[in-house]
Chains A and B, each alone.
Chain A
Amino acid sequence: MIDAISIALIIVGALFFLAGSAGVLRFPDVYTRLHALTKADNLGLGFVVLGLSLRADSWVVVLKMLIIWALVIVAGATAGHLVAEAARTSHVVPWRRRS
């Protein structure tokens, strides 16, 4: 039973990684792609960490994965901000939908 829940969570996580990658390929400019990378991948990693935690041998391993998740969230959000700021200060024009 626990194995089934764990596998389901990991698959959901993988689907978010897939959707994030689809966003990086399909979205039109650097800014929109950063949205896909930072948000979808963090959530995907969260589901993978939850799924793996159910199968972990000890609490230290669970704690380790939670810390890695937290560090990835902080690093991802900060890196996204810096890439967007670099693009903005070098005058990369954001894509707009024609109306």
Chain B
Amino acid sequence: MPTRELASRIDRIVQLLQRVVIFAVLWWVIAEADPDGWLFGVPFVALAVVASLGLTPSRTWRIDPPGALKYAWYFVTQSFLGGIDVALRAIRPSLPLDPMIVRYRMRLAPEHARVLFADTVSLLPGTLSTGFEDDSLTLHVLDCELPIEQSLRDVEERVAGVFGLTLSSEGGDLRVCETLTGDECE
């Protein structure tokens, strides 16, 4: 057997085992280590592994622990502020909303980093990601007074840190859009 084929077969087995272990540990904790839980656990772990291999056949990223810790701290503080911001807007009688749509050109290239970026942005104060288009992420912003360009750049840098990536020098800027789907952006 050629070595390259052997290496890719070993890689696939490692990917499979990693995911079996991750999902089994998740189930084990959720079932509070109850042995009867495996009656449901085994089929669901198997389904989760199949779904995960179907969606992302091979994991191509690695996680940089110090970067991940920095991201985690930033995420906790910012999502705390995000929750307080939207809660206050929801209960104030004046309903202080002034929404706008913006398109942000991402400096992150890999798909997994973009997904983490979009999910993170949705939990920060006043921004909600509403889909990718080429290299841009379209966002709904609760209040056009919010300083979102700087916070988007900050999030992007922290997401890059999680995966040990360098950001592209292109992008990192924001355009305000007239409509959600058209290209009428300033």
Contacts and interface: CB of A to CB of B under 8 A. Distances in A.
Q: Do A and B bind each other?
A: yes
A34 B86 CA distance: 10
Given A16-B83, A19-B87, A38-B123, A31 B131 contact: no
B130 A88 contact: yes
Interface in A42-99: 42-44, 60-61, 63-64, 67-68, 73-74, 77-78, 80-81, 84-85, 87-89, 91-97
Given A19-B91, A32-B142, A60 B29 contact: yes
A49 to B, nearest CB: 13
B128 A31 contact: yes
A94 B83 contact: no
Give the secondary structure class of A's interface: helix
B136 interface: no
B33 interface: yes
Interface residues of A, number: 44
B32 A16 contact: no
Nearest to A41: B83
A73 B95 CA distance: 26
A78 B101 CA distance: 19
A40 B142 CA distance: 14
Nearest to A82: B131
B110 interface: no
Interface of B: 26, 29-30, 32-33, 79-80, 82-91, 95, 97-101, 118-120, 122-123, 125-126, 128-131, 138, 140, 142, 179-181
